[in-house]
C-alpha cells in the first residue's frame, strides 16, 4: 500500500484525481508505521515543496489530528510536540512512566480548532483563507463587533500550525509578528491587531482582506505572464511595502507570491512578517532573543537568497532577490531558475534569459536584483523601482490601475517572451551588474526619495477608518471626514502615542491630512476604557448627544475642591450613571447614590448639575490624573444602589454583564458614554 508521501506526490504530479487522492488518504494513514507527529511532518514537508489546495491540506491534517486523539484515547502512542528547536520528534509512552501517562492524557483532551470552532468565546472561524509554513489563516467573525453592530465584524486569524505549537521559538515568532506590525503601519502592509492564545491554540488577529494571493494568479492554468504595463502597479505596491520595512530596519525573510495579496479594492498588500528579521537591531532586542527563521522550516527555497540559505545575517538585499524572482515570474509565467534554490541555481551557473517585453534598462535592473552575490545585487528597493518603472505613471503606490485589472482578466491570453537558460561566465554577469549599478546612480539622483509618483486618492469614508481607530489599544477614538481630511478626537493611549497614530492614519487610502484632538490615557485606565470605548465612540459619532462637563471645564482641581459635573441628556428618555474612577483602583458611584438617588433624565434635558451641594464630594488623596465617566442607558443600569465605593475590577465585571443584557434587549444605540478627565493636586500649605 502506498505511503502518505507517495499518495501526495502522485496527486501533485497529476497521476491521481482529486477523488482518488481523498479515497487513498485513509488507507495510507491506516497502513503507515509512522505516528501522527511524523505524519504531520510528512504532510508539512510535501505541502511546503508544492502547495496542496487549501481544503485538501486541511482535510488531511484533520484526519491526522483525529488519528492522534484516537491513538492516545486507546492507550497507544503519544505524539505531543517536544519544546525543542528541531521539528517535533516521536515520543513513546510504552515505558509507562507517570510523566508519559500525564502527557498522554493532556494530548487526548487537546482541542483541535477548525472551521466552525470559536477562539476565546469571541472569534468564530468561518472559512480557511490559506495555509502557510507556520500558520493557517481563517476568516473569522468577531462576536464582540457583531454585538456592537459593527458594519465590518470580520477579521482574519492566523492560527499557529500544530507541528509548531510546542516549539517555543515559533511562539516567539508569532508574538514578534504582532509587535513588528505596530511598527510597520503602511497601506501596502497588512494590519495586524493582536497576539493571543486560547489554551494551546496560539493565534494572531489581523485585518480581513478580500481578494486573492499573487500565487493564485501565477498558478492559473496557461498563465504565460503579463505585459509590463499591467504588472507595474503590482511591482510598485510590492516595492512600496518593502522599502518602508527596510527603512525601519526590517527584512521580510519570506517574501514570495503567497505573501503578496491583491485585494478587490485594487490594492497590493504584503502579508506575513512572521519571520521578519531586524538588520538594524534595536537595543531592546538582545542577541539572546534572536533566532534563525530557517530553524523553523519557514523559508521558501525558491525565493530565498543564497545568503539566507547559508544562514548569514539578514540584509534588505535578501528581499530584493525574492522581489526579482517574483517580478520575473509575473512577467513571464516562469520562475527565473525553474524553482531551484538560489544555491542550486548558482552551482549550475543558471542564468535566465531576458524577457521579450523588457527594454534594456528594465532588464539591467531585474538581472541585478537576481544576482547570486549580495555585493553585486541591486542595493535598494528604491533603486530597483526607479530603474524598472520606466513609464513613471502617476499611480499611487500599491493601487492597481484599471488597465492593470483588465490585464489580469485577460492574462491567460497574453503570450510574453520565451523562457530559457543559457550558460555564461560569472565574470560576464558581474560586469553586466556593475553596468546596472552605474546606471542606477544616475537614476537615483533624479528619482529622489520616492520611487512612485502620487496619484489621486480614493474617496475617504468614515467606514474605512473606523476599524483602524477601533483597534488602537487603550483608546476611545472618534473620526470625522471631510473630502480627504481626517479629524480624530477622543482619548489615546499614552504608550501608543499621537505620532504613531498619525502615521498609521496617514497611510490609509484616501487620507491627505490628519488632525488629532486627543487626550492622553495612562495604562491604569485601560481596563475601563476597553469596556466603555464603544459607547463613547457611538456617542461622539452622533454629535456627542449625551455629555458630561466638569466644573471648571479645564478639569484641574485642588485638594478640598468640590467635584461638580453638568450632564446633558440624549434625545430620548434615559437614566444616568456617573462614576468617579480613582487612582487607587476604586470607583466612587456619584449617580445614582445615597446623595443623588434620582438619575432619570428627560429627552434633550439638562444641564443637570451633580455635586452642587457643599461637601457632596471633595478632592483628596491620592492626587494625579483621574476620570469621571457618564453612562447613559434606557433603563436603570442596576436594580439597586451599588456601594458608595467598590473595587474597580468587581464593578467592571458587573458593568459588562449588565450592559450586554440591556444592549440585547433595547439596542446598542441606546447605550452611550462620555468621559471627563480631571487632574488633582494637593493644596498649597
Active-site annotation, residues: 254
Beta bridge partners of residue 204, listed in sequence order: 158, 195
Q: What is the DSSP letter of 411?
A: G
List the one residue out of 663, 654, 655 whose CA is nearest residue 634.
663
Write the CA distances from 617 to 69, 595, 596, integer angstroms: 61, 10, 11
CB 240 within 8 A of CB 454: no
> Residue 144 and residue 120: Cα distance in Å, rounded?
11
List the one residue out of 78, 376, 382 whose CA is nearest residue 247.
382
| Burial 207-242, CB ≥16 within 10 A → b, else e | bbbeeebbbebbeeeebbbbbbebbbbbbbbbbbbb
CA dihedral defined by 534, 537, 538, 541, rounded to 10 degrees? -160
List the one residue out of 297, 274, 368, 299 whose CA is nearest residue 327.
368
Backbone dihedral region for residue 397 (phi beyond 0: left; psi -120 to 50: alpha; all else: beta): beta
What grid cell was written down for 293?
527563521
CB atoms within 10 A of CB 1: 10
Q: Where are the beta strands (DSSP E) in 219-282?
A: 250-251, 260-263, 268-270, 277-278
Rounded to a whole number of angstroms, the distance between the first and last alpha carbons of the chain is 91
| Burial 409-447, CB ≥16 within 10 A → b, else e | eebeeeebbebeeeeeeeeebeebbeebbebbeebbeeb
Percent of the chain that is helix, strand, coil (3-state, to 5): 40, 20, 40
Q: What is the DSSP letter of 85?
A: S
Q: Environment class of residue 573 by beta-carbon count within 10 Å: exposed (0-12), middle (13-18) or buried (19+)?
A: middle
H/E/C letters for each residue in 418-464? CCCECCCCHHHHHHHHHHHHHHHHHHHHHHCCCCCCCCCCCCCCHHH
> Residue 507 and residue 511: Cα distance in Å, rounded?
7
Residue at grid coordinates 544562514: 311
Q: Environment class of residue 546 by beta-carbon count within 10 Å: exposed (0-12), middle (13-18) or buried (19+)?
A: buried
Amino acid at each position: 500500500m502506498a505511503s502518505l508521501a507517495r499518495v501526495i506526490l502522485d496527486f501533485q504530479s497529476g497521476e491521481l484525481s482529486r477523488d482518488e487522492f481523498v479515497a487513498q488518504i485513509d488507507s495510507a494513514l491506516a497502513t503507515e508505521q509512522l505516528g501522527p507527529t511524523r505524519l504531520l511532518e510528512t504532510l508539512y514537508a510535501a505541502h511546503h515543496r508544492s502547495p496542496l489546495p487549501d481544503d485538501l491540506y486541511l482535510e488531511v491534517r484533520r484526519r491526522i489530528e483525529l488519528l492522534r486523539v484516537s491513538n492516545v484515547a486507546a492507550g497507544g502512542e503519544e505524539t505531543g510536540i517536544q519544546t525543542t528547536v528541531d521539528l517535533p520528534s516521536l515520543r513513546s509512552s510504552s515505558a509507562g512512566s507517570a510523566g508519559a501517562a500525564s502527557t498522554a492524557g493532556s494530548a487526548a483532551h487537546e482541542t483541535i480548532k477548525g472551521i466552525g470552532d470559536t477562539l476565546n468565546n469571541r472569534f468564530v472561524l468561518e472559512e480557511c483563507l490559506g495555509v502557510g509554513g507556520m500558520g493557517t489563516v481563517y476568516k473569522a467573525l468577531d462576536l464582540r463587533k457583531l454585538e456592537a453592530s459593527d458594519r465590518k465584524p470580520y477579521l482574519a486569524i492566523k492560527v499557529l500550525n500544530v507541528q509548531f505549537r510546542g516549539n517555543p521559538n515559533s511562539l516567539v515568532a508569532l508574538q514578534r509578528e504582532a509587535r513588528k506590525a505596530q511598527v510597520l503601519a503602511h497601506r501596502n502592509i497588512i494590519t495586524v491587531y493582536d497576539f493571543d492564545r486560547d489554551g494551546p491554540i496560539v493565534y494572531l488577529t489581523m485585518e480581513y482582506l478580500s481578494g486573492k494571493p499573487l500565487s493564485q494568479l501565477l498558478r492559473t492554468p496557461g498563465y504565460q505572464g503579463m505585459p509590463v504595463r499591467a504588472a507595474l502597479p503590482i511591482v510598485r505596491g510590492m516595492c512600496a511595502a518593502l522599502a518602508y520595512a527596510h527603512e525601519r530596519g526590517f527584512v521580510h525573510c519570506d517574501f514570495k507570491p503567497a505573501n503578496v495579496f491583491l485585494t478587490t479594492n485594487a490594492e497590493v498588500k504584503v502579508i506575513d512578517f512572521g519571520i521578519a528579521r531586524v538588520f538594524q537591531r534595536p537595543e531592546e532586542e538582545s542577541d539572546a532573543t534572536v533566532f534563525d527563521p530557517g530553524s523553523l522550516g519557514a523559508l521558501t527555497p525558491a525565493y530565498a537568497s543564497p545568503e539566507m540559505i547559508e544562514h548569514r545575517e539578514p540584509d534588505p538585499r535578501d528581499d530584493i532577490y525574492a522581489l526579482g524572482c517574483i517580478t520575473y515570474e509575473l512577467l513571464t509565467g516562469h520562475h527565473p531558475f525553474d524553482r531551484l534554490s538560489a544555491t542550486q541555481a548558482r552551482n549550475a551557473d543558471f542564468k535566465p534569459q531576458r524577457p521579450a517585453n523588457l527594454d534594456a534598462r528594465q532588464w539591467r535592473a531585474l538581472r541585478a536584483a537576481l544576482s547570486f552575490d549580495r555585493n553585486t545585487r541591486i542595493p535598494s528597493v528604491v533603486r530597483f523601482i526607479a530603474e524598472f518603472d520606466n513609464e513613471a505613471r502617476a499611480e499611487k503606490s500599491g493601487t492597481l490601475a484599471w488597465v492593470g485589472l483588465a490585464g489580469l482578466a485577460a492574462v491567460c491570453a497574453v503570450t510574453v517572451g520565451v523562457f530559457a537558460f543559457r550558460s555564461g561566465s560569472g565574470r560576464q554577469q558581474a560586469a553586466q551588474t556593475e553596468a546596472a549599478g552605474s546606471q542606477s546612480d544616475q537614476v537615483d539622483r533624479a528619482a529622489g526619495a520616492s520611487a512612485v509618483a502620487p496619484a489621486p486618492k480614493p474617496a475617504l469614508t468614515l467606514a474605512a477608518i473606523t476599524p483602524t481607530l477601533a483597534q488602537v489599544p487603550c483608546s476611545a477614538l472618534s473620526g470625522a471626514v471631510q473630502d480627504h481630511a481626517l479629524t480624530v478626537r477622543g482619548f489615546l493611549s499614552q504608550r501608543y502615542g499621537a505620532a504613531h497614530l498619525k502615521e498609521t492614519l496617514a497611510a490609509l487610502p484616501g487620507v491627505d491630512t490628519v488632525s488629532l484632538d486627543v487626550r492622553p490615557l495612562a495604562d491604569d485606565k485601560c481596563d475601563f476604557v476597553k469596556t466603555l470605548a464603544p459607547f463613547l465612540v457611538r456617542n461622539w459619532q452622533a454629535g456627542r448627544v449625551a455629555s458630561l462637563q466638569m466644573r471648571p471645564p479645564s478639569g484641574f482641581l485642588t485638594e478640598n475642591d468640590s467635584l461638580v459635573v453638568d450632564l446633558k441628556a440624549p434625545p430620548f428618555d434615559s437614566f444616568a450613571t456617573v462614576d468617579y474612577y480613582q487612582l487607587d483602583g476604586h470607583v466612587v458611584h456619584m449617580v445614582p447614590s445615597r446623595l443623588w438617588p434620582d438619575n432619570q433624565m428627560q429627552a434633550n434635558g439638562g444641564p443637570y448639575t451633580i455635586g452642587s451641594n457643599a461637601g457632596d464630594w471633595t478632592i483628596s488623596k491620592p492626587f494625579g490624573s483621574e476620570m469621571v465617566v457618564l453612562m447613559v442607558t434606557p433603563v436603570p443600569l442596576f436594580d439597586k444602589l451599588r456601594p458608595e465605593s467598590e473595587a474597580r475590577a468587581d464593578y467592571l465585571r458587573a458593568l459588562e454583564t449588565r450592559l450586554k443584557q440591556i444592549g440585547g434587549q433595547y439596542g446598542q444605540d441606546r447605550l452611550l458614554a462620555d468621559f471627563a478627565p480631571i487632574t488633582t493636586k494637593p493644596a498649597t500649605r
